[in-house]
Each structure stands twice: as C-alpha cells, then as structure tokens.
Amino acid sequence: MLNIFYRQNGKIILSQSEKEFSRIQIEDTVWIDLVNPSGAEKRAVEAFLGTEIQSRAQAEEIESSSRYFETDDAIFANTNFLTPGPEEYMMQAVSFTLVERSLTTLREVPLRSFTELQRRLQVNPKQYPSGFSVFASILDQRVDLDADMIELLSKEISQYARRINEHEDIDEELLIDISRLQENTMIVRENVVDKQRLISNLMRSSKVPSGLEGRLTVLLQDISSLINHTNFCFERLEYLQDTVLGLINLDQNNIMKIFTVVSVFLMPPTLIAGFYGMNVRLPMIAADAPNASFWNWIIILGIMVLSCAAIWYVFKKKKML
C-alpha cells in the first residue's frame, strides 16, 4: 500500500496512486508511507526520490552500529518498532529515508503510531511543515507507546509481587513467568536504546533543521528516563526471582525438616522394638514362656512412648520444632 501526503494550497492531500508522482514536486511532498508495497510501488517511489530505498531484509541485516548513515542527498535510518503479542513482544523493522525535506517510510505491518499521525497530519497541516517534523512526531509517539509498555510491565511486576507477598501459587510456573517478564523488559530496553542512538545521530546531522534540536533534546531526556525505569523494573524482577527461589528453598527445607524429625522420633521405638524382637532371653519375658504376657508388651509400648516424649521435649526446649 502506498500513501502520499503532499502540500497543496495550504492543505495536505492524501493520494494512494503512484501516478500522482508525475503531478507533484519533491519539495511539495511531506511524507511517503509504504506499507508492504508491491515492486511497482517501490520502484515508482525510488524513481521519484532519485535514490534507492532499503528493503526489509536489508534493514534487518544491517548491524546496530550502521543503522544510520548519510549521503550527500539523503539520510537513511533503520530502527525496530515493538508490537505487543499475547506472550512476548515482536520487533518490526522500519526504514526511514529523508530526501531534501521529504520523508519516506517503509514497513511491513500497520503500526499504531503511524496510523494516528496520518490522521493528525491532515487535521493540523501547519504543525508538519516538512518530513523532518513528521519524523520527529513518529519518534515522539513511539517513545510515548514505549512508555505505556513499560508502565504495563511495571503493573504486571507489581501483581507478581503481590502474589509472592500473599504466598499465592509459588511454584516453578511463577519462576517461568518472571523469566518471561525479564526477557520482555530486556526487549523493551533494547528497543528504547535503539531510538536513543538514532536520535543522537540525527542531532549531529547538519541536514536537520535547527528548529527541531530542542524537540529532539526533550526526546532524548524522555528516553533516558525510560531506560532508568526499565533498569528499575529489571532489578525488581531479579529481587522477585531471588525471593521466589528463597521461598521455594524454605518450603523444601521445611519438608526435609519434617522427614528428619519423624525419623528421629521413630529411632528409639524402632531400637526398642528391634531389641525385644531378638530370639534371646530378655528382661520382662518369662524364661519358660516363648511369648511375653499382656502387661509385658504394654510396658514396652510405654517405654517407646516415653522415648518419643523425651525426644519431643528436647527438640521443643532447643526450639527445633
């Protein structure tokens, strides 16, 4: 799909046909948005701009250190936009090309920040005098969306912290969920840092209008605060992970303690029972009778109970129970 936004009689007109390029000038073009374009649409835009537009595959193969570069006539920038999924975030590569005062974007999927900006572009055309202002607005909205995602992550972390404080479902699944949150936090932080590098490179360019420097500076400050927030979220997740591991270890220690106490409780009775189970003459058993009388085994049973009580008293006195 092709969206061409160009200025005419003080208004911004939207056209979706590549034939419009024959009737407009590049200096009148504010924004050309390519969404999963066909080969003909992409070639028409390249012919209109007089430069090649990077494909999605090329944008994804570019190293992070080379995602921004300039030529004599154009600025090329590549970055990733996050789209939230049911379990994890997905990266969507977006390419930006700035030729003179016109912006060209190439993406494969619809993005919320682009859709909202296209609506605002036609409502308030004076706020977007050139493609640079559109580019800055895209980054501004993207930073706002990243802030919303970080806020959602923070709320989700708070919910897990509440579950842990209430000792609710502390098991292996909870650890897996915390690990998933850590991964999502890292992805969001990586995405925000990518925007920081892009804006920093843009501010060093001599092609950027001086009027945008203050706006870009504010964006960098916002991004720095988001990076600090993601670091704090990651530290909270590490703390929750350590807490869950500690609680699981305590539960396991309590189980082992129960087994140990039960074993110690049963040791004296087992010893006594084994002693009187020997096939030899023993106390309280008549010499001429193969079996003990009723009171004899009652006495032996009482000795076993007394031994258990003695062990319980010792454990209780030493505060081991």
For residue 104 the two structure tokens come to: 């060209």
Rg (CA), the chain: 36
- CATH: 3.40.50.620, 3.40.1350.10, 3.30.460.20, 3.40.47.10. Which one for 2-249? 3.30.460.20
| Measured distance CA(310)–CA(321) in Å, rounded | 14
Total residues belonging to the chain? 321
Burial class (CB in 10 A: 0-12, 13-18, 19+), 13: middle
| Measured distance CA(221)–CA(35) in Å, rounded | 30
| Measured distance CA(152)–CA(201) in Å, rounded | 29
Give the global pTM: 0.72
What is the SS3 assignment for 4?
A: strand
Domain boundaries along the sequence of the chain: 2-249, 277-317
For residue 187 the two structure tokens come to: 């992805």
Q: Which residues contact 11 (CB under 8 A, 6 or more apart)?
A: 122, 125
**Residue whose structure tokens are 């003179």:** 100
Task: Going residue by residue through the chain, which has 321 residues, state the pLDDT in tens, using 9 for 90 and above.
Answer: 888 888 887 788 888 788 877 888 888 888 888 888 888 888 888 888 888 877 666 555 555 556 788 888 888 888 888 877 666 777 888 888 888 888 888 888 888 778 888 888 878 878 888 888 888 888 888 888 888 888 888 888 888 888 878 777 777 788 888 888 888 888 888 888 888 888 888 888 888 887 888 888 898 899 889 999 988 888 888 888 888 888 878 777 877 877 777 777 777 777 777 766 666 555 555 555 555 565 666 777 787 788 778 877 777 776 666
